Amino acid sequence: MPASVSTSLLTDMYELTMLDAALKSGTALRRSTFEVFGRRLPSTRRFGVVAGTGRLLEALERFEFGPEQIDWLHEQHIVSDETLDYLKDFRFTGDIYGYAEGECYFAGSPLVTVEGTFAECTLLETLLLSILNHDCAVASAASRMTIAAHGRPCMDMGARRTHERSAVSAARAAYIGGFKGTSDLEAAKRYSIKAIGTAAHAFTLLHDSERQAFDAQISLLGPSTTLLVDTYDVETGVRNAVEAARAAGGELGAVRLDSGDLVAQAFKVRGQLDAMGAKSTKITVTNDLDEYAIAALGAAPIDSYGVGTKLVTGSGVPTAALVYKMVSREDDNGHNVPVAKKSESKSTVGGRKIAGRLRDEDGYASQELLVIGSTREEALAYLESVGARPLQVSLIEQGTIRSELWQQEDTLQRAQDHHVLARNELPYQAWRLSEGEPAIPTHYERLGA
Q: Please list, in sequence order, all residues whose beta carbon lies within 8 angstroms of the beta carbon of residue 190, skipping any fewer than 6 positions away.
A: 168, 172
Torsion angle, alpha carbons of 123, 125, 130, 132, to 10: 130
**pLDDT for the residue numbered 407:** 77
Superfamily for the 13-138+317-351+388-435 domain: nicotinate phosphoribosyltransferase (3.20.140.10)
Q: Please list, in sequence order, all residues whose beta carbon lies within 8 angstroms of the beta carbon of residue 182, skipping any fewer than 6 positions away.
A: 155, 156, 157, 159, 171, 174, 175, 188, 193, 194, 195, 196
Listed by start position, the domains of the chain span 13-138+317-351+388-435, 152-311
Per-position DSSP letters for 45-103, written without gaps between them:
-SSEE---HHHHHHHHHT----HHHHHHHHHTT-S-HHHHHHHHT----SEEEEEPTT-
What is d(CA 113, CA 149) in angstroms, rounded to the nearest whole number?
Answer: 34
What is d(CA 145, CA 288) in angstroms, rounded to the nearest whole number?
Answer: 13
Tell me, yes or no, if the two domains 13-138+317-351+388-435 and 152-311 fold the same way. no
What is d(CA 172, CA 55) in angstroms, rounded to the nearest whole number?
Answer: 9
Per-position DSSP letters for 289-343, written without gaps between them:
--HHHHHHTTTS---EEEE-HHHHTTTT--S--EEEEEEEEE-TTS-EEE-----
**pLDDT for the residue numbered 171:** 98
In the beta sheet, which residues pair with residue 390? Answer: 356
Residue type for position 210: E
**pLDDT for the residue numbered 4:** 62
Q: pLDDT tens, position by position, for the chain (449 residues)?
A: 344 689 999 999 999 999 999 999 999 999 999 999 999 999 899 999 999 999 999 999 999 999 999 999 999 999 999 999 999 999 999 999 999 999 999 999 999 999 999 999 999 999 999 999 999 999 999 999 999 999 999 999 999 999 999 999 999 999 999 999 999 999 999 999 999 999 999 999 999 999 999 999 999 999 999 999 999 999 999 999 999 999 999 999 999 999 999 999 999 999 999 999 999 999 999 999 999 999 999 999 999 999 999 999 999 999 999 999 999 999 988 888 999 989 888 889 999 999 999 999 999 999 999 999 878 999 999 999 999 999 999 999 999 998 887 777 899 999 999 999 999 999 999 999 999 999 999 999 999 76
152-311 CATH fold: TIM Barrel (3.20.20)
Element (H, E) at 138: helix 125-149
pTM of the model: 0.96
What is d(CA 369, CA 399) in angstroms, rounded to the nearest whole number?
Answer: 28
